[in-house]
Amino acid sequence: MSDSFGDISNSNFGAGAGAGGGLNANADLQDFVEKEQQRAQFSAQVHNFNDICWDKCVEKVGTKLDSRSETCLVNCVDRFIDVSLFITNRFAQLLQKSGGGM
Amino acid sequence: MDAAGTNKLTSAQKEELMDQVKQQMAIMSAQELLSKMTEKCFKKCVTKPGTSLDSSEQKCVAMCMDRFMDSFNLVSRSYSNRLLQERNKM
């Protein structure tokens, strides 16, 4: 299960943790928190995608994921992001057209 | 914990703090995985709840767990690939 949390778990933070406090004693902590937040966001997003795409792509559970389900899962993630980007852009346009009167 | 307080942390204390945070995050992610897995595999494998969880249902649940992990890992990889692509576009 070590690989279940994605590629970001490889990123090495805390490398400077043993450096000890200089002037910027909290810089390493701030750095750490930022990275952990990113990791948490990524992880939450993966859970969300898997939730949606599992329902869409996996019909029957067998001894392995068949190639159709695999392709579907990969496409599902990409298309979901496309839809999210498309809607964000179009929504912004709609807002602009309405004269920013909101 | 306020900013002045963290200034007084020794590097060992900081490391302990970071380890705790990392551990908490891993636990939370595992809990999420567990609850989603239970939800999805119950839905897939127990279509008509009987008086016990029979062996075919157990087999289905075990297989479903493995496939769910496959799916999770594949989705995770796809998402991180897409993130890389988007970053290269900028």
Residues of chain A with pLDDT under 70: 1-25, 100-102
- Render pLDDT for B37-85 as a digit per residue (tens, 0 to 9): 999 999 999 999 999 999 999 999 999 999 999 999 999 999 999 999 9
Q: Which 8-state DSSP code applies to residue A75? A: H
Which value does ipTM take for this structure? 0.85
Domain residues for the domain of B20 are 3-89
- Measure CB to CB from residue B71 to each of A5, A65, A81 and give the nearest one: A65
Contact B7 A1 (CB under 8 A): no
CATH code at B44?
1.10.287.810
The shares of helix, strand and coil residues in chain B, as percent rounded to the nearest 5, are 85, 0, 15
Domain count of chain B? 1
pLDDT score for B85: 94
**Would A2 be classed as within a structural domain?**
no
CATH code at A59?
1.10.287.810
Domain residues for the domain of A60 are 7-97
Q: Does residue A77 contact residue B81 with C-beta atoms inside 8 Å?
A: no
**Cβ–Cβ contacts within 10 Å for residue A79, how many?**
14
B51 to chain A, minimum CA–CA distance in Å? Answer: 23
